[in-house]
Amino acid sequence: MVVLTLGGAFAVGYRFSAGNRATTAVAAPRVVDQVRSALQGAYYRPVPASVLRIGNVRQMLSALDDPYTAYLRPATYRLVRQETASTYTGIGASVLPAGHRFVVVSLLAGPAQAAGMHVGDTIVRIGGKSTANMSMTHAMARILGPPGTRVHLQLLREGHLLDVQVRRAVIHAPPVQARVVSYVGHRYGVVAVSSFSVGTSVLVRRELHRLGQQGAKGLVLDLREDPGGLVAQAVNVTSLFINHGIVVSLQGLHQPQEVLRANPGNATKLPLVVIVDRYTASAAEIVAAALRDNHRATIVGERTFGKALVQAVDPLTNGAALELSIAHYTTPTGQDLSGVGLEPEIRARDDPHTGQDEALTTALRVLTRPAS
């Protein structure tokens, strides 16, 4: 889970990928010319001429001030191509950009947690290097490494700097976990989705069937600390709850608007509540907004992260690749979540100092309300 929707170890799904769609193919021999051409022909917004005149790839991309667009060296690209794996070598932490740093948005049982890292910590240095000018992918590449080796991280927590040494290990990161809970005499299914990687929708469908067989009278879809993933998986998971309607609209400077709709025939009719928090991002925000806008679910929790950019990875002739923001998305009602996030209909936040899950309790309370 480190930083990617990719090969996982850092941010299992920080990117919001558009599947296999590639940017403009260029046969120019120089990498800088290929990158310049891709920016001119596929970047989601206009690129100033002053940026395009820069003769260095990294400086050119840095001038975009876009943490999701990066040049991937061949070794890094090989890591990125593993982005949808549920098993990877890393530290078991997911991150999202926070200014020019990276905030830890979720932790698995593993090395990062054992080293004392907390959700909400901000990573300011990796291996002695400042994160100020790092892209998400470059941060991931510095954190990933062979199992048993260590990475030094400097964290900012409540105004104090902390240094931790984290030993890398093989991380198992199942994207879906489900259980039945009892509340005021009824059984309800809780489906927690931690990333929208390949196969997530299949796992959610399987769990919905199992929960139905166990007598669940309603469902809670828990998207807290979910940094996102693949567009196709967001559409497929949404389609498990609605049979028709718009899921998301994609549009960039160089591509016409593309409206993605729910796939019919798979939806459960059980009452539904979705829980979100400030670390719910990208594909997870797509699902929550689609279910809200199609009047299928009540949204409970905190305002979400607000990542509304779509990336594609375009191979280059030297074995490297360009990770490029090619579009932004809007919700079915036309809302742009960039930097704003999705506001829940009912605000609730779990207090980590109690033994209860207050947000989940609020969601279950909503499910028990009489239908209007």
> What is d(CA 157, CA 118) in angstroms, rounded to the nearest whole number?
9
> What is d(CA 230, CA 76) in angstroms, rounded to the nearest whole number?
19
What Å distances lie between residue 190 and 9, 29, 64, 146, 341, CA to CA?
Answer: 26, 53, 41, 35, 23
What is the helix (H) or strand (E) element at residue 75, kind and residue range? helix 74-80
3-class DSSP state of 306: coil
CA atoms within 13 A on the CB side of 99: 6
Type of residue numbered 345: E
Alpha helices in 214-330 (DSSP H): 231-238, 283-293
CA angle 116, 195, 10 (to 5 degrees): 40
Catalytic residue numbers read 282, 293, 307
Burial class (CB in 10 A: 0-12, 13-18, 19+), 165: exposed
Structure tokens that stand for 81 in this block: 């191509």
> What is d(CA 322, CA 70) in angstroms, rounded to the nearest whole number?
6
